[in-house]
Chain A
C-alpha cells in the first residue's frame, strides 16, 4: 500500500496537468451543459423548444421571450421584486438574529448550552411538508398570511441552524486575547460584540447572508402555501403559476425567466465568492 503511496504526481507535471485538464473539462461539461441548454432554449421560439433533432444553437434567435418576461408587470416583474425583498429581508434578519446566538455559543457559559445548540441544529430534521399545514392556521390567527414578514420569518427559521453554527465557528476563531484587552479597557459584553467581534467576522456575516438569501430565493413550498395573493408571490411559486399552465408548459418563456432569475444570484455569488470562501474557511471549517 505504502509503495503505491510513494508515487508523487508533482514529479510528473505534464501527466498531472493533462489528467487534471481532462477531469476538469468533463466535470465542467457536466456542470455547464444544462446551463447552456437553458440559455439556448431561452433564445428560441417555443415551437423549436421540443424539436427533434434538438437545435443546439437557435436557428432563429429571438429575444421575444425575454421581452415578454421583462414587460410582464403583474407576472415576472412582480415575482422578481417580491423575491428580492423577501430574500434580502431573510438575509438581514438571519444575520441579525444568528450573530448574537453564534457568539453566545462560542463565548458565553450557561446551562444547557450543548442541548440548546443540538435543539437548534435538529430543527432542520423535521419534514417541511407537514409543518406547512399547521403553520398555515397559525399564520392566519396571527395575521401573517400574505405578508413579507411572515415569509421572512419562515425562511429565516430554515437558515438559522446553519447560520448559528457557522457564526459560532467564526466567533471562536476570534482570538480571545483581543476580547480580553477590550475587557480590560472597560468594555461590556455588548461592547465587545459590537466593536471587536462584528468587524472581525464580517466575511462570516456575508457568507451567512448569502446562504440565507439563496434559501429564501429558492423556497417553493412555504412561499406557495403561506401566500395567496398574486402580488405576494415570490419567484418559485410564480414560475409554477406562469409557466406550468393547466394545459401546457411554456419552455422558452420559462427558460428566459430562469436565466433572468439566475443571473443576479450568479453575479452576486461570483462577486462575493472571495468573502464566501474566506467566510467558510474561518467559520465552518475550523468550527
Chain B
C-alpha cells in the first residue's frame, strides 16, 4: 500500500510539473520586435544552418529585431499557413511557393507588397518572377530564389545511345525521336524521361511546362477548358510516353531524382537545385564531373513558338496582420538580396538569386554552366502559373485526369471532357 501511495504521488507530481512547466517556456520578452518567419528551409538538414546564418546576420544588423523561426515540412506548409491565417494566428513572414500567394492573398491574409517595397527593388526583378506573385493587380509575393524547371539531360546516356551529347532536343518532335532512340539503344531498366505521375500536388507543377509548351493556357484568364487541341496534344503526349514505357509509372519526382542520379533516367524537368541533389545522391558527381554528365537547357518547344517554363519559385510574402510591415520588408530584402543571403544561402542551395543585377554582382559565383543556362535561357522563358484562390481544389482534378490518362489508360478525350465539366462546376460555386 505504501508503494502504491509513492507511485501515485510520483505520478501526480510529474504530471503537475509537466503541465506547469509550459507557461514558463512560452513567456516572451516584450521590448523587442519579434517577427515570426514560417518556412520549410530552416527545417531541412541541408539548409538549416545556412538559413540560421542569414537570420543571425540580419539580427546583428538590426539589434531590436528577433526573427523567430517556424519550420514546417514542405508538404504541410500550405495547409498550415492557411489554417493559421484563418485561425487569426499567422506568422509575420512566410516563405511561399506555387499557388499559395494567390490562395492566401485571395483570403486577405497577405499584404500588398507594393505598399512597402521600393519600386527600384521591384524593377530589378524578372518579369515572370513578379508575375508569379501578382493576383488582381496586387503583389502578394516576391521571388526569393529562382527555381523554375529546366530541361536536364544525361550526356553520357545520350552518347551511349549514339546521340550527340551536346545537342538536346529543341522541339517536341525531336524529343520524341530522342526518346525512341534512347529506348532502343539503352538497357531495359533505363528510362528515357522522368515525369511525375503520382498523386502529389507537385506532379502538376512538374507537368505544367509540358502543357504550356504546346501553346495551351488552360485555367489562365478564367478559361477552364481542357478540351482545346493544344491541351489534348499535351495529354496525348503524356499517354504516349506512359504507353511506350518511356517513363517509370507512379514514381514521385523525389524518387525519379534518385533514378536520374543512378543513370537510370536520361532526361527530366527540374530546378537549378538539381545539381546539389544529384551530387548528394551520387558522390561521383562532385566538381566538374557533374558538368561532364549533366546539362540543362530550355523545355523543348511544342508549338508555343518560343521556349516556355513555369515560374516555380521560392517566394516570400508578409502577413496582412503583421504589426511591423516595414521591418518585415527589411528582412525580406535582406533574405532575398543581401550579400550574406546570396553567398551563404541562395547560391550554395542551388538557387539563382532573384534580382537581374545579381548576374553582374555575383558573376564569379554564377559562372558555372548550369547557372549560365538559367540566367541566359531559362529565366527569360518563364511565365507565372494559372493561379487563383481555387487552384488548390482544381489541381486535384487535373492530377486525377493526368493519372487517368497515364496510369489507368483512360481515353484522353473522355478524361479531359469530364475534367472540364468538373472545373466548371467548381468555379461556379
Contact = CB atoms under 8 A, between A and B. Distances in A.
Nearest to A231: B25
A224 B72 CA distance: 9
Nearest to B70: A228
Interface in A182-233: 194-195, 198-199, 202, 224-225, 228-230
B4 A199 contact: yes
For chain A, give the interface size range.
35 or more
Contacts of A180: none
Given A85-B18, A89-B18, A247-B273, A140 B87 contact: yes
B88 A140 contact: yes
Contacts of A198: 4, 8
A253 B45 contact: yes
A151 B273 CA distance: 37
Contacts of A74: 48
A247 B19 contact: no
B45 A242 contact: yes
Contacts of A51: 262
B24 to A, nearest CB: 11
A92 B14 contact: yes
Nearest to A209: B11
A240 B76 contact: yes
A247 B83 contact: no
Nearest to B88: A140
A178 B75 CA distance: 57
Interface in A92-126: 92-93, 95-96
Interface in B37-63: 38, 40-46, 48
A177 interface: no
A47 B15 contact: no
Interface in A69-85: 72, 74-75, 85
A6 interface: no
B45 A225 contact: no
A246 B87 contact: no
Nearest to A224: B76
Given A92-B11, A245-B46, A148 B74 contact: no
B167 interface: no
Contacts of B88: 137, 140
A157 interface: no
A147 interface: yes
B107 interface: no
B373 to A, nearest CB: 19
Contacts of B281: 46-47, 248
A245 B48 CA distance: 11
B12 interface: yes
Contacts of B69: 230
A250 B258 CA distance: 11
Nearest to B202: A246
B73 A244 contact: yes
Interface in B300-326: none
A244 B75 contact: yes
A237 B277 contact: no
Contact of B19 (A52, A152, A240): A152
B14 A199 contact: no
A224 B43 CA distance: 14
Contact of A149 (B18, B42, B83): B18
Contacts of A145: 89
A96 B18 contact: no
B132 to A, nearest CB: 17
A144 to B, nearest CB: 9
A72 B45 contact: yes
Contacts of A230: 42-43, 69-71
Contacts of B273: 247
A241 B72 CA distance: 7
Nearest to B74: A246
B43 A241 contact: yes
Contacts of A282: none
Interface in B181-195: 189
B83 A136 contact: yes
Interface of A: 46-47, 50-52, 68, 72, 74-75, 85, 88-89, 92-93, 95-96, 133, 136-137, 140, 143, 145-149, 152, 194-195, 198-199, 202, 224-225, 228-230, 237, 240-242, 244-250, 253
19 contacts: A47-B261, A51-B262, A75-B45, A89-B19, A92-B15, A96-B11, A137-B88, A147-B25, A198-B8, A224-B76, A228-B70, A230-B71, A240-B76, A242-B45, A244-B74, A246-B41, A247-B277, A248-B254, A248-B277
Interface of B: 1, 3-5, 7-8, 11-12, 14-15, 18-19, 21-23, 25-26, 38, 40-46, 48, 68-76, 80, 83-84, 87-89, 91, 189, 254-255, 257-258, 261-262, 273, 277, 280-283
Give the top 8 A-B pairs by smallest Cβ distance, nearest first.
Answer: A246-B74, A241-B43, A240-B73, A199-B4, A147-B22, A89-B18, A245-B44, A92-B15
Given A133-B83, A248-B257, 11 more contacts: A47-B261, A68-B45, A74-B48, A93-B15, A96-B11, A224-B80, A228-B38, A241-B72, A246-B74, A247-B257, A248-B277
